[in-house]
C-alpha cells in the first residue's frame, strides 16, 4: 500500500470553484470519500449587515461571476417580500426574460466549454478543429447560442452578468421595439442549433446511475421564479417562505461549505431535478419538439443533467419568443414599499439549482441580517457519494492516475458545480490504492 497525492490544479479548470477530495481505499474498498468545498466562506452574510437595502441586490450579485443575475433577482425578491412590494405584470415578464437569458448563456457555457470536450476526448473546447465539418458546426453552435442568450440579457437586464436594469420594485429601463425584434430574430435563428445540442447530449455514452432524491421549485407553466418546492421524498409542497425550515444543516468538518439534507436524506438540485419533477410543464413547443427525448425523465443518470440543461435552453428560447412577441414594453415607475421593515425570502431556480436568500430589513432601511443557501452546497453530499461509488466501480480494473482523474472530473462536471465562484482548483489524495 502507498499514498498517492494527485494535484489537478491545471487539469480541473473545466469546473467553477475550489474543492478538495480526500479518499482512503482499504482492501479494495473506499473507506471514506471526503469532498470538501474550499475558499467558500466569503462572508457575504456578514457584509450584508448595516447596508442600505436598495444596494443589497447589486452587492450579492457579486457572489458569482457567471450566474450573478440569479443572485440579483433572488435578493430583489427577498427585499420585495420583506417590504410588501408587488411587481407589475411587465416587471415579472422582464424577470422571467432575465432568467431565460441567463440560462441560455450559462447552460451553453457549461455544456460546450466544460462538458463536451470530455465526449470528444479533448482537453479544451479550443481543441476542436474548425476544418472538421462536425467540429466546425459545434464551434459555431456554441458561440451562436451563447451570443443569443447574451443579447437577450443585455436588452432586458442591461448586462449579461451583474445586470444594472433590474431593481427593487421594477426595471430601470425597458427594451426598444427594434431590440425586441432583433432578439426574436436571434432566438429563432439558433433554434436548430439548440436542437442539435439536445441531440448531442442525448447521444452521450457516459452513464452513472445511483439512486438519489431530487428537489426543485416547480410551477405550471415551468418557471425559474414562481411556484412551490417539490421533492420526490414527499407529496407535500413547501412554500418558498418555509423552504429553509425543511433543510437539515450539516456541518462538514473538512469543508468550508455547509451540506444539507431533506428528511435525513441527501438530494440533488439543478436541471435534472427540475425535469424529473416538472417536465410536463415545459413550453408546449418544446415538448412537441422533444417528445421522445423527454421520455428519458425522470432519470438517475447524473449525465442526464447535461441533457436536461440542453432541454431547458430550448424551453427558455421558446418561452422568450412568446413573451417578446406578445409584450409591448413601456417605461414604468418602480413599485414602492408598503412598509418600512420586515423579513423577506427569495427563492429562484438558478442554473445550478434552488437558490435561497433571506433578508431582515430594519426601520432605518438598513439590513439587520440575512442568510444565503446556494445550489452547490445542497449538492455537496450527493456529489461526494457519487464519487465514492464511482471509485468503487473503478478499483477492480486497477486504473491508472489519468483514468481516475478523468472519471472524477466527469462526475463533478456533470453536476455543473460552482464551488466558491472563485478559483478553479481540485486536490485529490488517494490513500492505499495501487496504481499501474
3-state SS, residue 233: coil
In a domain, 162, yes or no: yes
Mean pLDDT of 44-70: 92
Of 141, 77, 85, whose CA–CA distance to 113 is shortest? Answer: 141
**What is the C-alpha to C-alpha distance for residues 430 and 421, in angstroms, rounded to an integer?**
26
| Residue 17 predicted with pLDDT over 80 | no
| Residue 14 predicted with pLDDT over 70 | no
On whether both 94 and 174 belong to a single domain, the answer is: yes
In a domain, 32, yes or no: yes
On whether both 93 and 201 belong to a single domain, the answer is: yes
Tell me whether strands 18-26 and 425-431 are parallel, antiparallel or unpaired: parallel
C-alpha grid cell, residue 214: 431530487
**Which domain does 146 fall in, by range?**
86-206+303-335
**What is the C-alpha to C-alpha distance for residues 229 and 239, in angstroms, rounded to an integer?**
6
> 432 CB contacts (<8 Å, ≥6 apart)?
1, 2, 3, 24, 25, 26, 31
In a domain, 201, yes or no: yes
**What is the C-alpha to C-alpha distance for residues 62 and 330, in angstroms, rounded to an integer?**
29
3-state SS, residue 424: coil
Of 85, 37, 41, 32, whose CA–CA distance to 63 is shortest? Answer: 41
On whether both 314 and 191 belong to a single domain, the answer is: yes
Sequence ranges of the binding site: 64, 67, 372, 418, 421, 424
In a domain, 151, yes or no: yes
Query: What does the DSSP 8-state code read for residue 301?
Result: B
- Compute and round to an integer the Cα radius of gyration of the chain: 22
- CATH number of the domain where residue 315 is located: 1.10.645.10
Output the DSSP codes for 127-157. GS-TTSHHHHHHHHHHHHHHHHHHHHHHHHH
The CA-atom distances, in angstroms, between 253 and each of 43, 48, 247 are 18, 25, 18
**What is the C-alpha to C-alpha distance for residues 94 and 179, in angstroms, rounded to an integer?**
14
On whether both 177 and 113 belong to a single domain, the answer is: yes
pLDDT of 392 = 87
Mean pLDDT of the chain: 89
pLDDT of 384 = 87
On whether both 178 and 317 belong to a single domain, the answer is: yes
46 pLDDT band (50/70/90 cuts)? confident
Sequence ranges of the binding site for Mg(2+): 372, 424
In a domain, 78, yes or no: no
Is the distance from CB of 138 to CB of 116 less than 8 angstroms?
A: yes
On whether both 115 and 9 belong to a single domain, the answer is: no
**What phi, psi does 168 have (nearest 5°)?**
-65, 115
Mean pLDDT of 383-394: 89
On whether both 105 and 36 belong to a single domain, the answer is: no
**What is the C-alpha to C-alpha distance for residues 342 and 42, in angstroms, rounded to an integer?**
25
3-state SS, residue 418: strand
On whether both 9 and 122 belong to a single domain, the answer is: no
C-alpha grid cell, residue 200: 448531442
C-alpha grid cell, residue 267: 438530494
On whether both 179 and 32 belong to a single domain, the answer is: no
Strand partners, 216: 230
Cα 224 from chain centre: 11
In a domain, 125, yes or no: yes
Split into its structural domains, the chain has a count of 2
Mean pLDDT of 238-261: 85
On whether both 134 and 27 belong to a single domain, the answer is: no
277 pLDDT band (50/70/90 cuts)? very high
Sequence ranges of the binding site for Ni(2+): 64, 67, 418
Enclosing H/E stretch for 244: none
On whether both 312 and 202 belong to a single domain, the answer is: yes
Percent of the chain past pLDDT 70, that is, above it, reads 88
For 352-379, the pLDDT digits (tens) are 999 999 999 999 999 999 999 999 889 9
In a domain, 147, yes or no: yes
For 326-352, the pLDDT digits (tens) are 999 999 999 999 999 999 999 999 999
On whether both 106 and 159 belong to a single domain, the answer is: yes
Is the distance from CB of 412 to CB of 426 less than 8 angstroms?
A: yes
Mean pLDDT of 12-18: 49
Sequence ranges of the binding site for Fe cation: 67, 421
In a domain, 411, yes or no: yes
- pTM score, two decimals? 0.92
Mean pLDDT of 249-276: 87
Mean pLDDT of 395-410: 82
pLDDT of 4 = 38
3-state SS, residue 292: coil
Amino acid at each position: 500500500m502507498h499514498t498517492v497525492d494527485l494535484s489537478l490544479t491545471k487539469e480541473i479548470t473545466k469546473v467553477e470553484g475550489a474543492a478538495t477530495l480526500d479518499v482512503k481505499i482499504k482492501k479494495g474498498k473506499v473507506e471514506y470519500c471526503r469532498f470538501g468545498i474550499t475558499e467558500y466562506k466569503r462572508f457575504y452574510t456578514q457584509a450584508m449587515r448595516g447596508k442600505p437595502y436598495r444596494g443589497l441586490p447589486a452587492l450579492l450579485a457579486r457572489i458569482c461571476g457567471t450566474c450573478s443575475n440569479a443572485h440579483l433577482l433572488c435578493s430583489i425578491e427577498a427585499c420585495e417580500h420583506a417590504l410588501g412590494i408587488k411587481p407589475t405584470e411587465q416587471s415579472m415578464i422582464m424577470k422571467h426574460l432575465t432568467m431565460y437569458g441567463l440560462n441560455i448563456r450559462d447552460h451553453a457555457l457549461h455544456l460546450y466549454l466544460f462538458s463536451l470536450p470530455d465526449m470528444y476526448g479533448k482537453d479544451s473546447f479550443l481543441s476542436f478543429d474548425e476544418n472538421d465539418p462536425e467540429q466546425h458546426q459545434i464551434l459555431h453552435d456554441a458561440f451562436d447560442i451563447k451570443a443569443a442568450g447574451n443579447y437577450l440579457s443585455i436588452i432586458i437586464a442591461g448586462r449579461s452578468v451583474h445586470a444594472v436594469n433590474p431593481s427593487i420594485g421594477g426595471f430601470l429601463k425597458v427594451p426598444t421595439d427594434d431590440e425586441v425584434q432583433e432578439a426574436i430574430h436571434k432566438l429563432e435563428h439558433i433554434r436548430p442549433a439548440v436542437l442539435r445540442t439536445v441531440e448531442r447530449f442525448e447521444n452521450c455514452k457516459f452513464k452513472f446511475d445511483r439512486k438519489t432524491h431530487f428537489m426543485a421549485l416547480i410551477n405550471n407553466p415551468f418557471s425559474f421564479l414562481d411556484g412551490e418546492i417539490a421533492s420526490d421524498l414527499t407529496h407535500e409542497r413547501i412554500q418558498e417562505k418555509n423552504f429553509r425550515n425543511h433543510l437539515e444543516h450539516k456541518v462538514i468538518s473538512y469543508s468550508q461549505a455547509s451540506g444539507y439534507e431533506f428528511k435525513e436524506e441527501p438530494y440533488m438540485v439543478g436541471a435534472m431535478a427540475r425535469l424529473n419533477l416538472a417536465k410536463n410543464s415545459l413550453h408546449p413547443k418544446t415538448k412537441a419538439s422533444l417528445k421522445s427525448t423527454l421520455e428519458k425523465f425522470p432519470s438517475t443518470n447524473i449525465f442526464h443533467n447535461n441533457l436536461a440543461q440542453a432541454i431547458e435552453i430550448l424551453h427558455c428560447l421558446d418561452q422568450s419568443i412568446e413573451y417578446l412577441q406578445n409584450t409591448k414594453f413601456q417605461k414604468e415607475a418602480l413599485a414602492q414599499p408598503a412598509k418600512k421593515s420586515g423579513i423577506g425570502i427569495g427563492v429562484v431556480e438558478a442554473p445550478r439549482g434552488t437558490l435561497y436568500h433571506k433578508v431582515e430589513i430594519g426601520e432605518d432601511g438598513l439590513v439587520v441580517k440575512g442568510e444565503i443557501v446556494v445550489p452547490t452546497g445542497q449538492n455537496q453530499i450527493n456529489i461526494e457519494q457519487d464519487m465514492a461509488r464511482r471509485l468503487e466501480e473503478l478499483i477492480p480494473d486497477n486504473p491508472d492516475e489519468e483514468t481516475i482523474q478523468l472519471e472524477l472530473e466527469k462526475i463533478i462536471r456533470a453536476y455543473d458545480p460552482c464551488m466558491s465562484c472563485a478559483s478553479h482548483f481540485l486536490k485529490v489524495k488517494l490513500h492505499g490504492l495501487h496504481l499501474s
